[in-house]
Chains A and B, each alone.
Chain A
Amino acid sequence: MFEYVWLIPLFPLIGVVINGLFGKSIKNEKIIGGIGSLMVFGSFLVACSILFRLLSLPSEERLYELNVFTWIQSGTFKADIGFLIDPLSALMIMVVTGVGFLIHLYSIGYMHGEEGFYRYFTYLNLFTFSMLLLVLGNNLLLMFVGWEGVGLCSYLLIGYYFHKKSAGDAGKKAFVMNRVGDFGFLLGVFTLFWFLGQNYNIWTINFVELSKASHLLPVGGIVTIITLCFFLGATGKSAQIPLYTWLPDAMEGPTPVSALIHAATMVTAGVYMIGRMNFIFIKAPETMLVIACIGAATAIFAATIGTAQNDIKRVLAYSTVSQLGFMFLAMGVGAFAAGVFHLMTHAFFKACLFLGSGSVIHSMHHALHHAHSHDDPQDMRHMGGLKSKMPITFITFLVSTIAIAGIPGFSGFFSKDEILWQAFANPYHGSLNYVLWGIGAVAAGFTAFYMFRLVFMTFFGECRITPKAKDHLHESPFVITLPLMVLGFLAVVGGYVGIPKVIGEVFGGIPNLFEHYLEPVFRISEEFAKEHVQVTAHHSAALEWGLMGTSVLIAVVGISIAYALYIVSPSIPAKFTAAFPGLHRAVYNKWYIDELYDLLFVNPCKALGRFLWKGFDVVIVDGIVNGVAKVTMGFSGVLRHVQSGFVHNYALTMALGMVVIVGFYLFR
């Protein structure tokens, strides 16, 4: 079965070719959407069979490489087009194709009647193709191909409504920010390749070969630099501090795109990449610390911004940034499996949330359109009381919100709690662990708060839309609600594959299947950690239970505050903002980070460019060039007056010249 792995990326590529070349003449939305979705579904089926085949093998044999052809070969450098199947990539292709398929399906309904329908599906298929290359590539360069490819599709899809300037700006911003990250990624590849080659004569970028050579790498030193470079790449792609600002703007794209690219798959590429190269990252304790700190900082920072946004998608965007911060926190504390676990559950509930918000926006847009109102259909201040109008959307949305808030029994609880526990109990960062845990727990509280604020503002209370428009509000069609229900279901049960050990023991020794499944991928790191890291304290099960209780309590407090503020007495938030106008404005304006970046980077770059052009090129270089020409012309301008035009002058000059020459020879 494994040798058919190339089919997985091929299917969406076929979709790209068909829809890209002929989509315009096909015109029929059902066919275009059908082709797009079916191709991804095909990949999904192949991915399923590969996963089952993988599961049937003993865990140490769960590794397969397929080299299709050599892409670049020059001197010591060689890069293949080749695929790698191991538990991690198998999981990722399941998420990408599974969630991807649902979102394709959803898009048929959501994008109905949009101009450039075929273009949308072409891009979406292209995205799926690139993402699959990213997760399946067996070497760094192929991963980079996917890495850039998803960035491109993100650019194209964010700028899908290209006639809007904001959409174009957002797309460009996303691409450029990603490029900043890519700069780091490339430097990481170079340094790693050169270091291993120069010192150990192992010239490779293949993951399997790298993992075999990883024991040669020193701890810290150059490896810290390599991993920091890679991490810079991850911050760009996965929207972490300092490169996170593009993600909220990316909400200019159609909502299913936000669900697929900016929540479930692409933005998790950074997490995947660290997971893929865990054997290198584990050797750089300083980098691990940086990752953990940045992850925690992003988690809390984005969560605070999320509390003050009124645009439903922007809240979800900041929530995504924050949740990605949790994943990086997990990676940074060496809990790779927990990070990937959260990646998966997050893909379920966040995709469901985005699609749910899409369903709401779809309905709102429709209603406002009928009422000839120009209100923003994404602004939560116009919503309210939608739960009776859109029951399926409401229930799936609520379920996913509970999951993200970390209420026991739902998927988000298992993964987030695992991360918090690991942040507390990991052996790497000493007493900083408590800080990391604390920040994570508070961020989780904020998450619960702003997510329930969103739910309360959208689905509960009075309907704030004009009465005329209100009658046009209705539940979305089946093609939209079906993916919602599937994802909602997964958001509930998705967590049960990774039940933490302490809970499992209570229920009769249920093992943490997920951790066990991913174990071969992270084995090298585990072994390294066992050998080199001193486990300082042994933590009791009681402590774990206690921390778990605390984090649940914080979540409940967050929900209660949201309930108090937005259901019980909705006037308080306004009073609060009135009391602290500066704080509210700062939070609402995202702590002015965009403006800061403009001030620090964008404007100086432009000014410098302008100076170099008008100042250096035109004045100095061309000044010298034209100056030489002018001097020559000026000199000849003086000299030409000798040419008086009078024959006498010429004759006299000639005669004098003769005299001088003759005189010279006579009297020298």
Chain B
Amino acid sequence: MLALNNYLIISAILFSIGTIGVLVRRNAIVIFMCVEMMLNAVNLTFIAFSKYLGNIDGQIFVFFVMTVAAAEAAVGLALMIAFFKNRESIDVEDINVMKW
């Protein structure tokens, strides 16, 4: 059995990759996938702690997060499509009208 540390390290690496992805990538879909990756990194942490502490709450929370992530995917992708229809692009650099 792997120690708790291993899980946490993995999830931290995943989370960091997600974060960097969100910050540096321009494609909205890729950013979106990175966000999903961050969420799943958190999920992994939840489950690891749940197992480690013997508390079921963490696993319940994971379900919540997954539900929200699914809803987010639906709304997010719809937004992408709407935006793509307008601009012929899903580059976030082009989404800059919301300023000042």
Q: Which residues of A contact B (CB under 8 A)?
A: 640-641, 643-648, 651-652, 655
In the bound assembly, the distance between CA atoms of A375 and B22 in angstroms comes to: 100
Contacts of B99 in A (CB 8 A): 643-645
Residue ID in chain A nearest B26 by CB atoms: A648
Contact B92 A655 (CB under 8 A): no
Contact A646 B96 (CB under 8 A): yes
CB of A644, distance to nearest CB on chain B (Å): 6
Contact A646 B92 (CB under 8 A): yes
In the bound assembly, the distance between CA atoms of A645 and B92 in angstroms comes to: 10
In the bound assembly, the distance between CA atoms of A646 and B28 in angstroms comes to: 12
In the bound assembly, the distance between CA atoms of A651 and B32 in angstroms comes to: 13
Across the A-B interface, how many residue pairs have beta carbons closer than 8 Å? 30
Contact B19 A645 (CB under 8 A): no
Determine if B53 is an interface residue (Cβ-Cβ < 8 Å): no
> If the complex has contacts A646-B93, A647-B92, A647-B95, are A640 and B100 also in contact, measured as CB distance less than 8 A?
yes
Contacts of B100 in A (CB 8 A): 640-641, 643, 645
CB of B62, distance to nearest CB on chain A (Å): 21
CB of A625, distance to nearest CB on chain B (Å): 26
Contacts of B95 in A (CB 8 A): 645-647
Contacts of B2 in A (CB 8 A): none
In the bound assembly, the distance between CA atoms of A641 and B99 in angstroms comes to: 8
Chain B contact patch, size range: 10 to 19
Contact A645 B96 (CB under 8 A): yes
Contacts of A645 in B (CB 8 A): 95-100
Which B residues from 22 to 46 make CB contacts under 8 A with A?
A: 22-23, 26, 31
In the bound assembly, the distance between CA atoms of A640 and B23 in angstroms comes to: 22
CB of A666, distance to nearest CB on chain B (Å): 14
Per DSSP, chain A at the interface is: helix
In the bound assembly, the distance between CA atoms of A652 and B31 in angstroms comes to: 13
Chain B 82-97 interface mask (CB, 8 Å, partner A; 1/0): 0000000000110111
Contacts of A644 in B (CB 8 A): 96, 99
Contacts of B23 in A (CB 8 A): 648, 651-652, 655
Q: Which residues of B contact A (CB under 8 A)?
A: 19, 22-23, 26, 31, 92-93, 95-100
Sample of 17 more A-B contacts, CB < 8 Å, known A651-B23, A655-B23:
A643-B98, A643-B99, A643-B100, A644-B99, A645-B95, A645-B97, A645-B98, A645-B99, A646-B92, A646-B93, A646-B96, A647-B31, A648-B23, A648-B26, A648-B93, A652-B23, A655-B19
Contacts of A648 in B (CB 8 A): 23, 26, 92-93
10 pairs, CB–CB < 8 Å, chain A vs chain B: A640-B100, A641-B100, A645-B96, A645-B98, A646-B92, A646-B95, A647-B95, A648-B92, A651-B23, A655-B22
In the bound assembly, the distance between CA atoms of A644 and B93 in angstroms comes to: 11
Residue ID in chain A nearest B35 by CB atoms: A651
Contact B22 A651 (CB under 8 A): yes
Residue ID in chain A nearest B93 by CB atoms: A646
In the bound assembly, the distance between CA atoms of A651 and B92 in angstroms comes to: 12
Contacts of A640 in B (CB 8 A): 100
In the bound assembly, the distance between CA atoms of A174 and B92 in angstroms comes to: 80
Contacts of A652 in B (CB 8 A): 23
Residue ID in chain A nearest B24 by CB atoms: A648
From A647, A651, A652, residue with most partner B Cβ within 10 Å:
A647
CB of A243, distance to nearest CB on chain B (Å): 66
In the bound assembly, the distance between CA atoms of A395 and B98 in angstroms comes to: 99
In the bound assembly, the distance between CA atoms of A648 and B26 in angstroms comes to: 8
Contacts of A647 in B (CB 8 A): 31, 92, 95
Residue ID in chain A nearest B98 by CB atoms: A645
In the bound assembly, the distance between CA atoms of A648 and B99 in angstroms comes to: 13
Contacts of A641 in B (CB 8 A): 100
In the bound assembly, the distance between CA atoms of A195 and B34 in angstroms comes to: 91
In the bound assembly, the distance between CA atoms of A123 and B25 in angstroms comes to: 92
CB of B8, distance to nearest CB on chain A (Å): 15
Contacts of A655 in B (CB 8 A): 19, 22-23
